[in-house]
Amino acid sequence: MGYKIILTQTQTITKILVCAFFLLFFKISVSSAQQTDCQDLIKKAEQAYQEGLLNQVKSILNEECIKQLTKKEDKLRAYNLSVLSNLYLNEKDEAKDAMLKLLTLEPEYMYDSTSPLEFQKFYDTFKVKPTIVVGVKLGVNMSQIQSLNAFSSDNTQASGTGNGKYDSKIGIQLQMAAIIPITKRLDIMAEIGYKRFAYQFSNRLYKFQSIKFTETQAFLELPLMLKFNFGNNYNFKKNRRKFLNKLNPYIFGGASVSYLLSSSAIAIRNDTESITPLNLESQPLDMKPQRNSLGYYAIGGLGVDYKSGRSFLTFEVRYHYGLQNVIKTDERYANQTLFFGYGYVDSNIAFRNININVGYFYPFYKARQKKQLN
């Protein structure tokens, strides 16, 4: 009895699987047939267009048929024909609707120089610049320290000789950026980034003592800049396929505000020529209480974009010019360990640094008509 029940259930499951297979096969066949029919309809629409049967073009290229197309190129051909047919029939609203669908599908659509003049003029009435471009930059930096006023536990020299020297170290930065195109040449660039850089101060005191002070700082940075393009990232003509035509050199300038996240230092003292030689190295010291939290910079630089598909890669060099003393003057002698143990005292300094960045950017579009044809 149980054997018969199992056999019956097995037969039922088999029938269900067979039916499902045929239904799936039928659906795929119908879908494939619809796509083939729609592709044939594009050919028919092109033939009707060549013969001047514009109303037939509109009826052939219905939206339901266009949705069935799997290839992007076929959909663009369909919308292109729809735009032209409606333009020649003087049905501007329907032509606008077709052009918006075309630009939504491919915001960086490139028409041929042989395209009808009516299509080119109509295309030029639509906004083809992105509303916003977002990206990320990664790079390295090198600090340059300018001494504004020297202080020392030993005598300082008016000329600066004997007041020690500052050496640069390599740091890193990571930035998220947004670009808003204003014109074909001008962009506004805003960024938020994390920057980490370091420098080393070395000096010789009392004719027998040498000190080294290495400081590492981390910042949150907010630059705002104006970018001038010598090329055009938003020129979608066919000649952009050539390598040189994909390059966009640019210059930029602006200002930046930074917020100090952390500052730590290590001090080293060597008394090699004293009666009792001494070598000291400190544990990491928190220098943030002796540093100004906000920093202000002027920024200038140059770079080049390389268009790659819809996105573009960028390489740039920029210079940050510090506008104020970074030392809290009323906290200069607050760290007694540094002063008495290592003979170090902060001089008034301003930060300068060179940044080299590489980045990746992607534009976002919202198709719209910027003006109406008369």
Reduced to 3 states, what is the DSSP secondary structure of residue 170? strand
pLDDT of residue 14: 59
The enclosing H or E element of 288 equals none
Sort 282 into a burial class: Cβ within 10 Å, 0-12 / 13-18 / 19+: middle
Q: Rounded distance, CA 182 to CA 361, Å?
A: 17
Q: Rounded distance, CA 45 to CA 62, Å?
A: 11
The overall longest dimension of the chain from CA atoms, in Å, is: 112
Q: Which residue, among 226, 228, 227, 233, has the nearest Cα to 248 in the 3D structure?
A: 233
Reduced to 3 states, what is the DSSP secondary structure of residue 60? helix
Spatial contact of 199 and 163, defined as CB atoms under 8 Å apart: no
What are the tens digits of pLDDT across the range 326-361?
Answer: 999 888 888 888 888 777 888 899 999 999 999 999
Q: Rounded distance, CA 216 to CA 151, Å?
A: 20
Q: Which residues of 101-125 are buried (b: 16+ CB within 10 A; e: fewer)?
A: bbbeebbbbebeeeeeeebeebbee
pLDDT of residue 183: 86
What are the residue ranges in the chain where pLDDT is below 70?
1-39, 153-163, 235-241, 273-276, 371-374
Q: Rounded distance, CA 321 to CA 299, Å?
A: 6
